[in-house]
């Protein structure tokens, strides 16, 4: 009987642990803003495209852009630019990339999405990146 109670208690604790670890991550818009301004904007400024302010698109447009996962008119992906491999490749010349070197890719993408949503044309705080 004692063994059954111990196993039952362990099963309940296991279920609680699974439930808490399965909760969705809410993106950190502040961390997303730092990454966007330090990594995305620094690269775009060096390119003919120039800086792209979050307020140039609506929340729906940013969501569609991220969902499509097409960057540079489909030549590559957005996920590529938040990947650990990309951050490692630019960290010597970009302190933000070095700072976020160990952040999981999906978490950083969620942070970026949270910033774009907040800073969108119809967001809570339309942002420009100067």
Per-residue pLDDT reduced to its tens digit, 59-93: 999 999 999 999 888 889 999 999 999 999 999 99
DSSP per-residue string spanning 9-50: HHHHHHHHHHHHHTSPPPP-HHHHHHHIIIIIHHHHHHSTT-
Task: State the pLDDT at residue 99.
Answer: 92
Per-residue pLDDT reduced to its tens digit, 85-129: 999 999 999 998 999 999 999 999 999 999 999 999 999 888 765
Q: What is the dihedral sign for C-alpha 116, 126, 57, 38?
A: negative
On whether the CB atoms of residues 107 and 19 are closer than 8 A, the answer is: no
Task: State the pLDDT at residue 50.
Answer: 75
pLDDT greater than 80 at residue 19: no
Per-residue pLDDT reduced to its tens digit, 25-41: 899 999 999 999 999 98
Locate the domains of the chain by residue range. 27-119
């Amino acid at each position: 009987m004692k063994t059954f109670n111990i196993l039952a208690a362990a099963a309940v604790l296991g279920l609680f642990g699974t439930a808490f670890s399965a909760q969705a991550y809410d993106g950190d818009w502040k961390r997303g803003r730092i990454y966007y301004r330090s990594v995305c904007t620094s690269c775009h400024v060096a390119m003919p495209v120039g800086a792209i302010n979050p307020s140039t698109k609506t929340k729906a447009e940013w969501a569609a852009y991220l969902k499509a996962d097409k960057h540079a008119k489909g030549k590559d992906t957005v996920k590529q630019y938040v990947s650990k491999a990309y951050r490692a490749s630019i960290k010597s010349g970009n302190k933000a990339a070095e700072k976020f070197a160990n952040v999981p890719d999906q978490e950083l993408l969620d942070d970026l999405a949270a910033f774009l949503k907040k800073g969108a044309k119809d967001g809570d705080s339309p942002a420009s990146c100067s």
